[in-house]
Structure 1
Amino acid sequence: MRRLGGRNTLERLARFGYGARGFVYCVVGGLAVLAALGAGGRAGDSRGALRTVFGGPFGPVLVGAIALGLAGFAVWRAVEAVTDADRRGTAPKGLAVRAAHLVSAGIYGGLALTAASLSLGLGMSGGDGMRDWSAWVMARPFGRWLLALIGAAIVGGGFGFLWKAARGDVTERLLLGDTQARWANPIGRFGYAARGIAFLIIGGFLIVAAWYQRSSEVKGLAEAFALLRRQEYGAWLLGLVAAGHVAFGAFGLIQARYRHIDAPDIDEADEAAARAIRDLT
């Protein structure tokens, strides 16, 4: 496919997707900050953020645009994982990152469908997605252990985020000058730290659910915020982690503009995927 303005279709989808994801987390964090301040906000998750945007000016149009962006991000994550567009390689660490990107593709693809349904006036399903799938997992043979393994993987991802916040190079894939990197770096570190804390709590919920074999123990970001709020100095803890989610969203907007994206052309993606599969075998 011919490049337009030096960018192909997949790259445009990826940048739109980073922007949409960033906007959603800015809303998630902003609402939680208001809740911590007692200013009328509600500490919720991405679905709650979509409802808030939907209820505002031009809500259906904005949520529809978010749906398109999240769908693009899901496509990019899948392509990124299968074709190894970021050159992660086939070492254990690289394969783990690529596997996480595949999981991310599924999560954001589902959120895109939720946003599209809301934008079209179909509303959101009444069930709890995390509890529904965890109940399905536990109903399978060895499902309890599989759920515990998923929870442990999420906890591991949380520690990975925290390590990246403390010691990693969060701007390594951003095409930034020294001055730009100086202000983007602390935003990214703060955002990754907040996501790491959230992952630790959510993964812990999954492990507890597996231990007690009760899907009702499975909880998401909204409940993670609520747990922080119930601790001593809870308003401060919630405010700090909420502000970190705003930073994570802002960093997503920075990624939308400055991230290096080596996306294959659509008509070359199947060839790139075939090469990656051959490398794995």
Structure 2
Amino acid sequence: MFRTIQDMPAGNILLGLIALGLLCYAIWRFIQAVRDTEDKGSDAKGVAKRLRYIFSGLVYGSFAVLAARMVLGNSSGSGGDSRQTLAAKLLEQPFGQWLVGLLAVGTLIAGIYQIYYGYSEKYKKEVQSGGLKHEVEHQMIRAGKLGYMARGIVWLIIGYLFLQAALKSSSSEAGGNKAAFQFLENASYGSFILGAVALGLICYGIFMFMRAKYQPIHT
């Protein structure tokens, strides 16, 4: 994905902005965990959710570093998928197939949870706590539902690809968003499925923009 952006007109500028945005998001995730901006609490459940924010911050921080290295010309130049690189590094370790398998299971669980989170509308309480106009609140809930479910589908496919990499001990089987979209496109009625997932991801982006604008931050 980063390579595609870099090859666009003014690609380095765009990629630099994305790197900065990813870094800011990673910092925000750490702030969410440490300052408890969403009032998760200090019990076991709250701490688990705040640790999830830290993990998310580390992941997005690593993406920010990768994008920044590409802008500065320090990337390896292979153009390979970052998840393929991760799978290759893990497979080189002792019990590498098991490590990739665990990563696959974790990704699959994350995908299932995203779909459940969207379908059950558990995110509604975060939206409703903002004191928004009914129309804005309704739009956010609809966008969030479609967005979380589409995001979950993509994570499920990525988890499946990691699982194939573990079973076949081949990092080339692993893939990120691009591989997941190709997987959908090659399925029966793939274009329609891919279009539906793309629409859902657009809704997720709109939902996150609206959250950034309207959701209150507890300090």
Unaligned 5+ segments in structure 1 are 1-44, 264-281
**Within 2, Cα distance between the matches of 1:48 and 1:246?**
21
- Map of 1:73 onto structure 2: 25
- Contact kept, 8 Å, 1:191 with 1:247, in 2: the verdict is yes
**Within 1, Cα distance between the matches of 2:217 and 2:5?**
27
Unaligned 5+ segments in structure 2 are none
Higher relative contact order (CA 8 A, sep 6+): 1
- Map of 1:109 onto structure 2: 61
Name the stretch that deviates more: 192-201 or 152-161: 152-161
Match of 1:159 among 106, 112, 136: 112
Deviation at 1:82, TM superposition (A): 4.0
Name the stretch that deviates more: 172-181 or 95-104: 95-104
TM-score by length of 1: 0.68
When residues 151 and 97 of structure 1 are mapped into structure 2, their CA distance, relative to the original with a 3 A threshold, is farther
**Within 1, Cα distance between the matches of 2:170 and 2:42?**
37
- Contact kept, 8 Å, 1:173 with 1:260, in 2: the verdict is no
- Contact kept, 8 Å, 1:195 with 1:244, in 2: the verdict is yes
1:209 aligns with 2:165: yes
1:219 aligns with 2:171: no
Deviation at 1:51, TM superposition (A): 3.3
When residues 177 and 116 of structure 1 are mapped into structure 2, their CA distance, relative to the original with a 3 A threshold, is same
**Within 2, Cα distance between the matches of 1:121 and 1:213?**
31
Deviation at 1:262, TM superposition (A): 2.6
Name the stretch that deviates more: 216-225 or 100-109: 100-109
**Within 1, Cα distance between the matches of 2:110 and 2:59?**
15
RMSD: 2.5
The count of residues paired between Structure 1 and Structure 2 equals: 215
- Contact kept, 8 Å, 1:144 with 1:210, in 2: the verdict is yes
Deviation at 1:222, TM superposition (A): 0.6
- Contact kept, 8 Å, 1:144 with 1:213, in 2: the verdict is yes
SS of the residue corresponding to residue 193 of structure 1 reads: helix
Match of 2:139 among 183, 204, 209: 183
- Map of 1:51 onto structure 2: 6
- Contact kept, 8 Å, 1:162 with 1:192, in 2: the verdict is yes
1:150 partner letter: L
TM-score by length of 2: 0.85
1:146 partner letter: L
2:32 partner letter: E
1:190 partner letter: L
SS of the residue corresponding to residue 125 of structure 2 reads: coil
- Contact kept, 8 Å, 1:114 with 1:124, in 2: the verdict is no
- Percent identical pairs in the alignment equals 33
1:129 aligns with 2:85: no
List per-residue Cα deviations over 1:174-207 (Å, max 9, x = no partner): 3223221111111111111110000111111112
